[in-house]
Amino acid sequence: MANKSIYDFSAETLDGQPVPLSNYRGKVLLIVNEVILQLNALMEMYGDLNFTVLGFSCNQFGLQSPEVNHETLNILKYVRPGGGFVPKFPVFGKVEVNGLNEDPLFTYLKETLPFVNPVIGDMKKLFWSPIKVNDIRWNFEKFLITADGMPLKRLEGKIRLLGSFPELFISLCKIGSFVMSEICKGRGLFGFNANNTHVLCLLTGM
């Protein structure tokens, strides 16, 4: 899929309306195949800096998301994660991220950012076929997309967006391009380019 970006794809809203991902041109994106509380925290920190999360539901991992699309927001609010949770980012309709009927967006993401972990997981809990080495292993896998629509980093579901884990990875993203920053441990997460335009320093682990 050479010369493509995520702007060549679309997603469906929970009520079945198509949304071109080119609508998010100029934003840094985090595409996640499940919705968790920490994603709202990211939006609170970075949502005003040309950043947004795009959430997708999937029922291919242990059949944990059997609800139909019109039930999704109530499931999030009252069951998983519950506690009145209301996402502060777009949540799209359920997709298959692996297998014969996988969504073209996730085919593109997986081919662009191949998986490096050879362990597939417990085959009894994986509900798709055929199983391929680049498949998404479980819920909460994340794809970091630059502001020009190019996949930059793939993060396993076990990596927490907030909190502490061994690998620190910070990317400075700006409209039209990205530049890798040095590893840092502080909270100095924002910068400005020569035109005094905000540059988003997106923390995927701290």
Radius of gyration of the chain (CA): 17
**Considering the domain boundaries, does residue 188 fall inside one?**
no
Statement: residue 104 has pLDDT above 80: yes
**Considering the domain boundaries, does residue 83 fall inside one?**
yes
Domain that holds residue 43: 6-159
- The DSSP string of 65-90 is ----GGGHHHHHHHTSS-TT---SS-
**Considering the domain boundaries, does residue 77 fall inside one?**
yes
The share of the chain scoring above pLDDT 90, in percent, equals 33
Whole-prediction pTM? 0.77
**Considering the domain boundaries, does residue 190 fall inside one?**
no
**Considering the domain boundaries, does residue 173 fall inside one?**
no
- In our burial notation (b when 16+ CB lie closer than 10 A, e otherwise), range 40-67 reads bebbeebeebbbbbbbbbbebbeeebeb
Task: Give 171's pLDDT tier (boundaries 50, 70, 90).
Answer: very low
Task: Give 140's pLDDT tier (boundaries 50, 70, 90).
Answer: confident
Mean pLDDT of the chain: 74
User: In the chain, how many domains are there?
Assistant: 1
pLDDT of residue 87: 96
Distances (CA, A) of 108 to 6, 102, 150: 8, 10, 11
**45-59 pLDDT tens trace:** 778 777 899 999 888
Closest among 34, 31, 30, 76 to 59, alpha carbons compared: 34
Task: Give 125's pLDDT tier (boundaries 50, 70, 90).
Answer: low
**Considering the domain boundaries, does residue 102 fall inside one?**
yes
User: How confident is the model over 115-144, as a mean pLDDT?
Assistant: 74
Closest among 51, 41, 50, 35 to 163, alpha carbons compared: 41
Q: What CATH number corresponds to the domain at position 153?
A: 3.40.30.10
Cα–Cα distance, 202 to 140 (Å, whole number): 17
**Considering the domain boundaries, does residue 31 fall inside one?**
yes
